[in-house]
Structure formats: C-alpha cells, structure tokens
Amino acid sequence: MTYVKFCGLRTPADTAMVNRLRPDFIGMVLAPGRRRTIGLDTAMNISDNLDPEIVPVGVFVDQPIEEIERFASSGVIKAVQLHGSESEEYVEEVKSRTGLKVIRAFTVSSIEEVKAASESEADIIMFDAGAGTGRTFDWSLLSACRRRFFLAGGLTPENVYQAILDLEPLGVDVSSGIETEGNKDELKMQRFMDSVCEADMRMAGL
C-alpha cells in the first residue's frame, strides 16, 4: 500500500474534504512567509476536527526547535516534516525533544545527493523538486536510493499512477496538484486517491 499525504491544508473546508477522502497524512505549513502558511489557532482547528486516523504533520523550514516544540506540545501535530537545510544533528534533536517521527525532505540533483539522503536519521525521507513548486524532477536519480521514500514535487492525479509503478515509493505527497486556483479541489483529491488505489492494485496483481 502506498501512503498518501495531502499537504497545505488551510481551512475547515479542507479538513472536511480530507475526512471524507481519508489520506494517511495531512500537512500544515507552519513555516512563516509561505503562501500556504497558517498559524497555531488555525492549525489547532484543523487538527481538532481531523479524523483521528489521519496523521497531522507540521511542515517547518529552518526554524528554531523551540517553535517545533510549541506545536508538538500543544498536540496540534503528530509528526514533523523538515523542508529546509536542517542538519542531521538537528533531526536527532527534534526527535529527542518532541518524541515525534520526523520526515526530512530533500531536493536532489545528483546520484551522490540521493545516496547521502539515504543515510539520514529521519524516520522517513522525502524527495521533492522544491517546496511547493508544483514541478517534477529527474526521477531516474532515485534508483540510487537505498531505502524506501516519499515522493513529492509535481504529482497530479494524471501522473501519480505511473510514478508508483515506476518507483514503488513508500508514499506520495501532493499539494498544488490537488488545487484549482490555489484552493483544494475535492474532485482532484478524489481522482488522486483513485489513481493511487489503481496503481496499488496493479502492483498487487489484482
């Protein structure tokens, strides 16, 4: 089974849609200055109304660990995603101080970078084209990865099926690919989930 993460939730309407569609994870951008950034109160509202089987992930970018601790201690998030240039020591400290699992995102342009990312202390590694760019990258580089990973960057309902067949990722992460004019689109979200399910069935020989 391929895990699905819908990222960039911002509104109660977004929460209602994911509760109906049931991805495995949702992401809330808690780094300042991004288009999809939300504050603690909004994040708390989303988390409080989220289906308890869906894991809320806080997305952070090169922020003081105290900021991550603030969200973690409030119970708003159940996992941390790091999307900047954080060091491995930072990853280990976040895990130690919050007790939460860490997803670390990597933007890669070479096989050597993929191999290095494979050695991360993060619980899950993610390969992305860049934070929220909506672009894909050279997926052939990922043949050098020594562990299973989440795939992000430019995924859509149209290309995620083939991405799963080609790469067999642990999970897929999508934000702009399930939006219309900057807002989450339930039809695109449903089509994305359907495509993942179809790919998983094909992989299982069903």
CATH number of the domain at 25, please: 3.20.20.70
Q: Is 7 part of the annotated catalytic residue set?
A: yes
Give residue 55's domain range: 3-203
Continuous segment of H or E residues that includes residue 186: helix 186-203
Cα 125 to Cα 119: distance, rounded to the nearest angstrom: 9
Angle between helices 65-73 and 88-98 (to 10 degrees): 30
In this prediction, residue 27 carries a pLDDT of: 98
Q: Among 192, 188, 180, 172, which residue's Cα sits nearest to residue 126?
A: 172
Residue ranges of the chain whose pLDDT lies below 50: none
Q: Number of structural domains, the chain?
A: 1
CA quadruple 96, 97, 98, 99: dihedral positive or negative? positive
pLDDT of residue 135: 72
Stated pTM of the model: 0.95
> Tell me, what's the pLDDT at 133?
57
Predicted pLDDT at 14: 97
**What pLDDT is attached to residue 197?**
97
Cβ(58)–Cβ(80) below 8 Å: yes
Catalytic residue among 7, 14, 145, 173: 7
> Pick the catalytic residue: 14, 128, 145, 173?
128
Contact 7, 26 (CB under 8 A): yes
Q: Does the annotation mark 173 as catalytic?
A: no
